[in-house]
Amino acid sequence: MRPTAAKPAKQEVIKDASMLKQKEMINAHYERLTNAPETGEKVASTFVPGNLNELLMCFDLVNNLPEVNAIQNGLRRKSGAYIMEAERAGHSEDVCTYVKSDIGMMLKGNIGPNGKPLPKPDVLLLSYTGCFTFLKWFELLREQYKCPTIFLQTPYMADGKITPNMIQYMVKQLKEDVIPTLEQVSGVKFDIDRLREYLKKSAQAEDDLVAVLQSAKNKPSPIDAYFGGIYYIGPIFGAFRGTDDAIDYYRFLREEVEERMRKGLGPVTPDGTMKEEKYRLVVEGPPNYTNFRQFWKMFYDEGATVVASSYTKVGGTYDFGFRHNPDKPLESLAEYCLNVYTNRSLPMRIDMLVNYINEYEADGLLINSIKSCNSFSAGQLLIMREVEKRTGKPAAFIESDLVDPRYFSAANIKNRLESYFQMVEQKRSGRGKAA
């Protein structure tokens, strides 16, 4: 049924200055990508978790991230049609919708967010971290593009530690396979000092990112570490880690956040600065992108700020101290890949969420379970129980999908959230009485 009411006037979306800056950076990157056939620049497709941006830059390769394209298509409400297109072409309704959004986009001409066709990759860098689906995803792309495909396996951190065997394996893959093949594809000789230079820049931006994320310990938090957090991680998880642009962006962002903190302001939402911080939450799981604003609004309308989230650690867990290290360039790339959130064992994920709740003085945990993402979702119900048990704070479970609009049920999610906030209230008043 079509709604008959007149369309509401488009509301102005409030963006902070850092968001505008980021938008410029991303637009410029997409221009660079779509102009590659004219400029002759070579393109590498690769994934966000465990991406080796600094290494790709050593070979003058432009980084194309299919996951980010899927997110862009989700935000622009194009992913639904792309997913259906992939399903028409024989893909199962059961599998990861990022993959299907990407394949559907390819089937429909591979038009990027700037309206221009994305170039064919010259190489697929399958850095396989934290999720087995990546492996199939690039096998599927390789079938289409028939371009060289480089594989880098990151062992799983099942026992909560990185062993020397893991590091040796990764460094060997980098030295004996990844780097020589990148040299071949790009025609550029590898220069380890160039890599060191980029890594030094990465570490600088990483420091500022951590300061921004940890500002949420403040009350009220000056940031939203999930909905806003997604913007904050954009450049560093994407094509900008190791660049001067990233250094500038994160310095700027940090100043902006510190300024808000000084003024005692809450996070900026699409409807302006959040007034009162009523609830502080930790969120596990990716967001929904097809109804991103509507989803976020359900939180800020209720005065709920997310103070820490696991999703903002899928491209690296910098808040535990890891920094890219120019003195140990290849080892540090390996360590980076090993550390990404979904490459951490379930007990590590539980510990992390428990610590966030304690350190950020949160009211509880909220899990957004993504229908088509086994990597995140398998085990989340146990995570929920354990975190509740260990913190004594209430947890709630909602379900949606990253980019498949068919699985976003606004009414259901809203209901769940409302009862969750009530639960938090009850818990508080219960505690109040006891005290």
Partner 1 sequence: MTSPTTEEIVARCEALFDDLTFSHAREWKAAKEGRKVIGHLPIYVPRELIHAAGMLPLGIMGGGDNLEVIHGDAYYQSYICRIPRSTIELGLSGRLDFVDGMLFPSICDVIRNLSGMWKTLFPDVYVKYFDTPQTYVDDIGGQFYIGEMRELLHDLEKISGHEITDDDIRASIEVYNENRRLIGELYRLRAAKPWQAPASESYLVMRAGLLVPVEEHNQILRDYVAAAAATPRPIKDNARVVLTGMFCEQPPLNLIKSLELAGCYVVDDDFILVARWLMGDVPTEGDPVENLSKAFLHNSMETAAKYEPVLADKGKFLVRAVRESGAEGVIFASTSFCDPALLDRPMLQNVLKEAGIPHIAFKYAENSGQMQPIREQAGTFVDSIKLWSAA
Binding residues (CB under 6 A) for ligand SF4: these are: 96, 98, 131, 133-134, 342, 373-376, 402
Between CA 189 and CA 83 the distance in angstroms is: 40
Which residues contact partner 1 (rule: CB under 8 A)?
Answer: 89-92, 94-96, 99, 126, 128, 131-133, 135-137, 139-140, 142-143, 146, 149, 151, 153, 155-156, 158-159, 163, 165-166, 168-169, 172-173, 176-177, 345-350, 369, 371-372, 374-375, 377-382, 386, 399
On whether the CB atoms of residues 322 and 377 are closer than 8 A, the answer is no
Task: Residue 194: name its binding partner from partner 1, ligand SF4, none (Cβ under 5 to 8 Å by kind).
Answer: none
Output the smallest distance, CB 334 to ligand SF4, in A: 20
Task: Residue 227: name its binding partner from partner 1, ligand SF4, none (Cβ under 5 to 8 Å by kind).
Answer: none
Task: Residue 377: name its binding partner from ligand SF4, partner 1, none (Cβ under 5 to 8 Å by kind).
Answer: partner 1
Between CA 20 and CA 57 the distance in angstroms is: 25
CA angle 158, 164, 167 (to 5 degrees): 80
**132 or 217: whose CB is closer to partner 1?**
132
Between CA 178 and CA 377 the distance in angstroms is: 31
For residue 112, is it left (φ>0), alpha (ψ between -120 and 50) or beta?
beta
Output the smallest distance, CB 230 to ligand SF4, in A: 14
Output the smallest distance, CB 131 to ligand SF4, in A: 3
**Which secondary structure element, helix H or strand E, spans residue 434, and what is its range?**
helix 410-434
What angle do helix axes 192-214 and 329-339 make, rounded to 10 degrees? 40
Q: Sign of torsion, CA 32 34 39 44?
A: positive
Give whole-number Cα distances, 161 to 155, 167, 433, in Å.
11, 11, 43
Task: Residue 98: name its binding partner from ligand SF4, partner 1, none (Cβ under 5 to 8 Å by kind).
Answer: ligand SF4
Output the smallest distance, CB 156 to partner 1, in A: 6
Partners of residue 367 on adjacent β-strands: 284, 397
**60 or 139: whose CB is closer to ligand SF4?**
139
Output the smallest distance, CB 116 to partner 1, in A: 28
Task: Residue 172: name its binding partner from ligand SF4, partner 1, none (Cβ under 5 to 8 Å by kind).
Answer: partner 1
Output the smallest distance, CB 402 to ligand SF4, in A: 6
